[in-house]
Structure formats: structure tokens, C-alpha cells
Amino acid sequence: QVQLVESGGGLVQTGGSLRLSCAASGLTFTYYNIAWFRQAPGKEREAVAIIRRNGNTYYEQSAKGRFTITRDNTKNTVTLQMNSLKPEDTAIYYCAAPRWGDAYSTSAGDYNSWGQGTQVTVSS
């Protein structure tokens, strides 16, 4: 059974930084692309960043230049470094793995394994 556990959320002021971590178990980690999604109140869940098996990355437009996604295949972890945070980044952030490990998608429906989420709040 796939388990994804996020950590690292919190409250930060505008312009600050946070580092989110996702620890994965129950899957052959190197076979999987891993994504970070976020969901703000009243909004749909959106893909923020994806890291593919080969290390290639995708970033949602507003995250480009501010967020960095990395993976450590020796520790089965994915990290999202978030810098220059803005109030509009406030959301619950989720780590997710797709149904098929090599699926490369920004659609939440293509992911069937989710962490419990971690709250990120950016104050103005």
C-alpha cells in the first residue's frame, strides 16, 4: 500500500521561504513521477510542480522561478523548496503519486495516492 507523508508546512510572512518534504513508501519509488498539488479554499486542486523519474521537472506558471522540486531516490523523498512566498500561495499542499508510475499529468484525477496534506499560510 502506497503511503505518502508530507511535512514542513507552516505560517510565514510574505517573501519568506518554506521547505516541504514528502516521504514515500509502499512503491518502487524510482518508477514514479511525483507531484505536489495545492488546494486553496473554494478552489480546485492544482498541480504546482512535478518531478519525473528522470529528474525532469514541471512548474505551474506562478511557481516558476520561486519553487524548486527535487527528489532523493536513496531516501524515497521529494522536496519542494518554496521561496518568495506570496499570500496567494496559501493552501493545503499535497504530495501525490499517479496510478501509473510514469504518468505525466497535471490532472488530479490521474493520481490515486495522496498524502494527508500540509497547511501553508502566507501572511501579508
pLDDT per residue over 6-28, tens digit each?
999 999 999 999 999 999 999 99
- Mean of the pLDDT values across residues 35-57? 97
The pLDDT value recorded for residue 14 is 98
Between CA 16 and CA 82 the distance in angstroms is: 8
Q: 54 CB contacts (<8 Å, ≥6 apart)?
A: none
Alpha helical stretches, state H, 10-111: none
The pLDDT value recorded for residue 119 is 98
pLDDT per residue over 76-116, tens digit each?
999 999 999 999 999 999 999 998 888 899 999 999 999 99
